[in-house]
Amino acid sequence: MIYLDNSATTHPHEEVLRSYQKVADVYYANPSSVHRFGSEVERLLQQSRTQAAQLFGVHSREVIFTSGGTEGNNMAIKGIAFMHQNRGKHMITSSVEHPSVMEAFRALESLGFEVTYLPVDSEGKVQPSDVSDAMRKDTILVSIMSVNNELGTIQPIREIGQIVRPFPKAFFHVDHVQGLGKIDLPIKEYAIDLCTVSGHKIHGLKGTGALIVQNNVSLFPLLHGGGQELEARAGTENLAGNVAFVKALRLLLEKKEDKRAHMSSLRNQLWHDLIENQQVVINSPKNGAPHILNFSVPGYRPEVMIHALGEEDIFISTKSACSSKEPDVSAILQACGLNSDRTTSALRVSFSYENTEDELRTFVQTLNSKIEKLQATMGR
Amino acid sequence: MNFDHILIRYGEMALKGKNRRSFEQKLQRNLIRKLKAYPATKIKKTKDRMYVLLNGEDPHEVMEICRKVFGIHSLSFAVKVEKSEEQLKEAVLLAFNDAKGARTFKISAKRSDKEFPIPSQELNPLLGGHILQNTEGVTVDVHHPDVEIKVEVRNDAAYITAQDYPGAGGLPVGTTGQSLLMLSGGIDSPVAGYLTMKRGVDLEAIHFHSPPYTSERSKQKVIDLAEQLSNYGNSIKVHVVPFTEIQQKIAREMPEGYSMTITRRMMMRLSEKLADQRGILSLTTGESLGQVASQTMESMSAINDVTNYPIIRPLVAMDKLEIIDVSRKIDTYGISIRPYEDCCTVFVPKAPKTKPTKENANYYESSVDFSQDLDKALAETYTIELQDGKRLHQEDEFKDLF
């Protein structure tokens, strides 16, 4: 099997699974319980928070464990909206965000909030000057992803942070689910108030992740109850998941430069090999994130390509798995202003540091032969 | 271009005549220990300054650490450059940008290398002009600038020094002796410990633990507080005294109205004995006048009566809100407000005497012999050591999980 859909999810690292199993098996007490077993487990919970904080370069008060990216994004966006609506009801995001951001904003619009969706250029990039122009006195939130999930475009987060910083009423949220480990994102230095990360994109487990919330930022909780997670997210803690998330994070950051260099070289190789086929058009920007390469084979329905490759045990995707239920057109590529030939035929290859050059070579050969075979029915 | 060293000014300790050498050595040693995580850094001492040579380590991270070290009056980023106009221009702009939000500046150039072709009167407008060209809305103010940038052209190179950052002040920890801090889990005692350390004192701590009336969590809270405090000084030993039996005996045999006073007196006696064993010459407490029943003038007198050790009370004249401000600043507040019982809250009498007398306390105590209980508690005391925010000599049972 050649698995090239790592932006959808990744294979859990065996050490992550081992940590999860051990904590679930041994430290199963409720950390809120008064007895000694509970206090031991509470200590482990505190340690997992401290460790996560260290890895993100923040204070342990600033880490809220979540169930993953969708929850983190919803918690940040709705949490800010509900908590600070008396300061203003205007918010800014881009037109290429993940559905968990996009739909959260749409839902808030239906409650009377006003949202500006910034345009992007042909590479999917937000222009900092557009953010400047959109900022208003009543803007309470700017939410921009660090790395686009379909194209791998890296957004100018540092510049946007500098634009938002002087507005005392506005918070800056970054959906860092695709960027985690792939690019550096110094949270304090970039003036990021809220940052969403997820475990299962980094060889961790589904249902794990965190929202980093700077100390001075207050959120309206989505879940009320026993006051867990620093009053921000009630519910008995998923301690095994939290520990597993920290483990995945630590493994990810080990030799991170080597891993990135490996992925970059895979991406370069793939880029080179793909463009030899005249029918392939690359959609990703040259200087995108090291793990995503998006391209179109105009005329060929992506779903058919996916299934054809699947027959050979090769797994890639069309667009974000989270929006794959819609018809073939990619809203992200549409927002980039690409023509319908390309927006309706986009494929995404996303790798991890575990993939090899050989796998990618096999992938390109298989792709080429499938294109040839399908020529009769789909090619122009 | 980035800053390649940090300039450290001593402040008060510069006044300390003959002791100065040992003060400097202490400061240097404390800095080296705190910067262990940045192995490329080197500390250089000159006549009246100290420099941290960064050798490629992150300037801001190192600055953050140095700013917590006692004995430093102020610090500045600095950069050493070649003696060329271009390099000087780049360096002054770097130095200006370090002062976030500065609207006015002043350049003070000094040229000790007379070979250098541009005299200092010309350097000021030349370099200042470069900043003006590369910024918006910034002006020169030679009298009250937001930031003063110092330029020194010496024989070996040119040195540019950016704005002053205030240091933690005080004296280098370890220069003024040792004290035993009576550490509860509350807000006050860690602040008292911090302020004492600021005056150069090396701390050990004593904590009274009364299981099952107080839980593991309340002990952990104290360890976490000491761990946090150890970020500001040298290692801290926490001596945990098993206090249950003494508290039970007091509750059983002493009049209720005096139980609080007598409990405190027992703690004081134990602290003095432990300090004596350890060769420590003073005790430190978080008492603040009038805050609670045990901290009235009468109570303090009755409690203080059992020892003639000097008792350092840095908070005695501070308001609660001032104390809380410090505790937030030093990051102990969040730990202190965890809701676990400590040994002082378990046996609180319904109506403690706010005006006890030492005569009465002595009279009640004379009817019962506590000396063996005190010796036993001391014999069963165990010690936990913390350094630089970590617990030493501890098997980390969770380590393989992360």
For the cut 70, the answer to whether the pLDDT of residue B346 exceeds it is no
- Min Cα separation A174/chain B (Å): 23
Question: Which amino acid, one-letter code, is at B35?
Answer: L
CB B241 within 8 A of CB B384: no
Q: How many domains does chain B have?
A: 2
Nearest-Cα distance to chain A for B133, in Å, is 21
Contacts of B217 in chain A (CB under 8 A): 39, 42
pLDDT for position A352: 95
Name the average pLDDT for chain A: 94
Among the residues of A229-356, which ranges form H helices? 239-253, 256-275, 302-310, 331-335, 340-343
Residues of B in contact with A34 (CB under 8 A): 215
Q: With 80 as the cut, is the pLDDT of residue A308 above it?
A: yes
SS (H, E, C) B256-301: HHHHHHHHHHHHHHHHHHHHHHHCCCCEECCCCCCCCHHHCHHHHH
Same domain for B225 and B353: yes
Measured between beta carbons, which residues in chain B are less than 8 angstroms from residue A191? none
- pLDDT at residue number B101: 80
> Could you tell me the two tokens for A115?
């949202």
Indicate if the alpha-carbon torsion angle A10, A13, A16, A18 is positive or negative. Answer: positive
Q: What is the CA radius of gyration of chain A?
A: 21
Q: Is residue B245 part of a domain?
A: yes
Q: Point out the domain boundary residue: B146, B166, B186.
A: B166
Contact A19 B217 (CB under 8 A): no
How far, in Å, CA of B216 to CA of B341, rounded?
Answer: 10
Residue whose tokens read 């929006």: A323
Per-residue pLDDT of B214-265, as tens digits, reads 888 899 999 999 999 999 998 999 999 999 999 999 999 999 989 999 999 9
Answer yes or no: is B254 a known binding residue.
no
The CA distance from B188 to B285, in Å, is 8
Query: Do residue A43 and residue B215 have CB atoms under 8 angstroms apart?
Result: no
Cross-chain residue pair A42–B217, CB shorter than 8 Å: yes
Nearest Cβ partner for B217 among A22, A39, A51 = A39
Both ends of chain B: CA-CA distance in Å? 37
Q: How many CB atoms lie within 10 A of CB A67?
A: 18
The Cα–Cα gap between B242 and B240 comes to: 7
The answer to whether the Cβ–Cβ distance between A39 and B220 falls below 8 Å is yes
**Residue B344's pLDDT band (boundaries 50, 70, 90)?**
low
Q: Does A10 touch chain B (CB under 8 A)?
A: no
Number of residues that make up chain B: 402
Closest alpha carbon to B286 in B251, B326, B331: B326
For residue B252, what are the domain limits? 178-391
For residues A328-334, average pLDDT: 85
B207 marked ligand binding residue: yes
CB contact at 8 A, B89 and B83:
no
List of chain B residues whose C-beta atoms are within 8 Å of the C-beta of residue A40: 216
Does residue B262 form part of some domain?
yes
Q: Where in chain A is the domain with CATH 3.40.640.10?
A: 14-253
- Sequence-distant (6+) residues with CB within 8 A of A373 are A308
Whether A39 and B216 lie within 8 Å, measured CB to CB: yes
| Nearest residue of chain B to residue A24 (CA atoms) | B401
Distance CA A105, CA A117 (A): 10
Q: Does B137 touch chain A (CB under 8 A)?
A: no
Does any domain span residue B398?
A: no
Do residues A151 and A171 make contact, with C-beta atoms less than 8 angstroms apart?
no
Side by side, the strands of the sheet bearing A346-350 are: A281-282, A292-296, A346-350
Contact: A19, B220; criterion CB under 8 Å: no
Q: Is B313 annotated as a binding residue?
A: no
Q: State the greatest distance between any 2 C-alpha atoms of chain B, in Å, as a whole number.
A: 89
Q: B286: annotated binding-site residue?
A: yes
B216 touches chain A (CB under 8 A): yes
Cis peptide before B212 (omega within 30 of 0): yes
Task: Spell out which residues of chain A touch residue B331, defining contact as CB-CB under 8 Å.
Answer: 59
Chain A nearest-CA distance from B215, in A, is: 8
Nearest chain B residue to A45 by CA distance is B398
Nearest CA-CA distance, residue B290 and chain A, Å: 33
What is the interface pTM, i.e. ipTM, of the complex?
0.75
Cβ within 8 Å, pair A44-B398: yes
Q: What is the pLDDT of residue B114?
A: 87
pLDDT at A323: 54
Q: Is B215 on the interface with A (CB under 8 A)?
A: yes
Arithmetic mean of pLDDT, A185-193: 94
Q: B45 and B187 share a domain? A: no
Q: Same domain, yes or no, for B247 and B323?
A: yes
Nearest CA among B78, B70, B27 for reference residue B48: B27
Question: Which residues 91-120 of A are in CB contact (within 8 Å) with B?
Answer: none
- Quote the pLDDT of residue B213: 87
Please report where in the chains the tokens 């995001």 appear, as a residue.
A93
Same domain (yes/no): B127, B207: no
Measured between beta carbons, the chain B residues lying within 8 angstroms of A250 are 402
pLDDT digits (tens, 9 = 90+) for A259-296: 999 999 999 999 999 999 999 999 999 999 999 999 99
A236-255 residues touching B, CB cutoff 8 A: 243, 246-247, 250
Q: Do A47 and B402 touch (CB under 8 A)?
A: yes
- Please give the pLDDT value at position B294: 78
Contact (CB<8Å) B398/A36: no
Under 8 Å CB-to-CB from B149, ≥6 apart: which residues? Answer: B92, B95, B96, B105, B106, B107, B108, B127, B160, B161, B162, B163
Nearest to A297 by CA among A274, A267, A322: A274
The answer to whether B390 faces chain A, any CB pair under 8 Å, is: no
End-of-domain residue from the set B166, B186, B218: B166
Cβ within 8 Å of residue B17, ≥6 positions away: none
CA distance readout (Å), A252 to A67, A202, B347: 19, 7, 51
Q: Is B182 annotated as a binding residue?
A: yes
Q: CA–CA separation, A326 vs A150, rounded Å?
A: 15
**pLDDT of res. A315:** 97
Cβ-count burial of A313 within 10 angstroms (0-12 exposed, 13-18 middle, 19+ buried)? exposed
Question: Quick one: pLDDT band at residue A210, thresholds 50, 70, 90?
Answer: very high
Are B150 and B208 within one domain? no
pLDDT digits (tens, 9 = 90+) for B358-368: 999 999 999 99
Q: What is the pLDDT of residues B31-76, one digit of tens each?
A: 999 999 999 999 998 877 899 999 999 999 999 999 999 999 999 9
DSSP lists the bridge partners of residue B161 as B78, B150
CATH code of the domain containing B265: 3.40.50.620
H or E stretch covering B390: strand B390-391
A187 at the B interface (CB within 8 A)?
A: no
Residue B212's pLDDT band (boundaries 50, 70, 90)? confident
A285 cis-preceded (ω within 30 degrees of 0) = no
Q: Mutate which of B98, B329, B341, B402 to disrupt the A interface (most A C-beta within 10 Å)?
A: B402
Give the residue among A339, A288, A304, A342 at the shortest CA–CA distance from A123. A288
Residue in chain B closest to A162 (alpha carbons) equals B100
CA–CA distance, A151 with A283 (Å, rounded to integer): 7
Rounded to an integer, what distance in angstroms lies between the CA atom of residue B90 and that of residue B66?
26
Fold of A14-253: Aspartate Aminotransferase; domain 2 (3.40.640)
Q: What is the pLDDT of residues B108-138, one digit of tens each?
A: 999 888 888 888 888 899 999 999 999 888 9
The two structure tokens encoding residue A148: 């686009």
Q: Do A34 and B215 touch (CB under 8 A)?
A: yes
The larger pLDDT score, comparing residue B350 to residue A70, is at: A70
pLDDT tens-digit series, residues A236-257: 999 999 999 999 999 999 999 9
Instruction: Tell me which DSSP letter residue A228 carries.
Output: T
**Does the CB of A42 have a partner CB in chain B at under 8 Å?**
yes
B295 among annotated binding-site residues: yes
User: From the list B331, B400, B402, which residue is nearest A246 (CB)?
Assistant: B402
Query: Does A58 touch chain B if contact means CB atoms closer than 8 Å?
Result: no
Q: pLDDT at position B291, please?
A: 79
User: Which residues, other chains included, contact A262 with Cβ-Cβ below 8 Å and sequence gap of 6+?
Assistant: A353
Q: Which percentage of chain B shows pLDDT scores above 70?
A: 97
Q: Indicate which of A27, A33, A40 best probes the interface with B, i.e. most B CBs within 10 Å of its own CB.
A: A40
pTM, full prediction: 0.83
Interface of A with B in 250-279 (CB under 8 A): 250
N- to C-terminal Cα separation, chain A: 31
Mutate to test the interface with B, among A32, A43, A165, A205 (most CBs of B within 10 A): A43
Question: Which is it for the CA torsion A305, A310, A313, A315, positive or negative?
Answer: positive
Region B174-191: mean pLDDT is 95
Q: What is the least distance, in Å, from the CA of A146 to any CA of chain B? A: 24
CB B194 within 8 A of CB B331: no
What does R_g of chain B's alpha carbons equal in angstroms?
27
- Of A24, A55, A281, A322, which is the active-site residue? A322
Domain of B118, CATH number, reads 3.30.2130.30
State the pLDDT at residue B15: 62
pLDDT at A320: 52
In eight-state DSSP terms, residue A183 is: B
Q: What is the pLDDT of residue A67?
A: 97
The share of chain A scoring above pLDDT 90, in percent, equals 87
The verdict on residue B172 lying in a domain is: no
Look-up: residue for tokens 């001492």?
Answer: B45
How would you write chain B as a 3-class SS string? CCCCEEEEECHHHHHCHHHHHHHHHHHHHHHHHHCCCCCCCEEEECCCCEEEECCCCCHHHHHHHHCCCCCEEEEEEEEEECCCHHHHHHHHHHHHHHCCCCCEEEEEEEECCCCCCCCHHHHHHHHHHHHHHCCCCCEECCCCCCEEEEEEECCCCEEEEEEEEEEEECECCCCCCEEEEECCCCCHHHHHHHHHHHECCEEEEEEEECCCCCCHHHHHHHHHHHHHHCCCCCCEEEEEEECHHHHHHHHHHCCHHHHHHHHHHHHHHHHHHHHHHHCCCCEECCCCCCCCHHHCHHHHHHHHCCCCCCEECCCCCCCHHHHHHHHHHCCCHHHHCCCCCCHHHHCCCCCCCCCCCHHHHHHHHHCCCCHHHHHHHHHCCEEEEEECCEECCCCCCCHHHC
- Contact between residue B256 and residue B356 where contact means Cβ atoms under 8 Å apart: no
Closest CB from B220, B334, B401 relative to A23:
B401
Q: Is residue B396 part of a domain?
A: no
Residue that finishes a domain, picked among B114, B135, B166: B166
Ramachandran angles phi, psi of A251, nearest 5°: -60, -40
The third-level CATH classification (topology) of the domain covering A255-377 is: Aspartate Aminotransferase, domain 1 (3.90.1150)
Chain B residues within an 8 Å CB radius of A59: 331
| 8 Å CB contact between B200 and B314 | no
List, by residue range, all CATH 3.90.1150.10 domains of chain A.
Answer: 255-377
Residue B269 placed within a domain: yes
Instruction: Let me know if residue B360 belongs to a domain.
Output: yes
d(Cα B160, Cα B5) in Å, to the nearest integer?
10
DSSP A125: P
Q: Mean per-residue pLDDT for B24-34?
A: 92
Q: Do B216 and A246 touch (CB under 8 A)?
A: no
Give the 3-state secondary structure of residue A102.
Answer: helix
Helices (H) and strands (E) in chain B, counts: 14, 15
DSSP SS3 for B251? helix
Q: A217 and A171 in contact (C-beta within 8 Å)?
A: yes
Verify whether the Cβ–Cβ distance A247 to B401 is below 8 Å. yes
pLDDT for B13: 58
pLDDT tens string B138-150:
999 999 999 999 9
Cβ distance A34 to B220 less than 8 Å, yes or no, reads: no
Cβ separation of B401 and A44 shorter than 8 Å?
A: yes
Does a structural domain hold residue B318? yes
Asked whether residue B279 falls in the same domain as residue B209, the answer is: yes
Residues B105 and B204 occupy one common structural domain: no
CB contact under 8 A, A47 and B398: yes
Residues facing residue B242 across a β-bridge: B209
Do residue B301 and residue B248 come from a single domain? yes
Q: Is A322 one of the annotated active-site residues of the chain? A: yes
Answer yes or no: do B368 and B267 share one domain.
yes
pLDDT per residue as tens digits for the range B298-332: 999 999 999 999 999 999 999 999 999 999 999 99
**What mean pLDDT value characterizes chain B?**
91
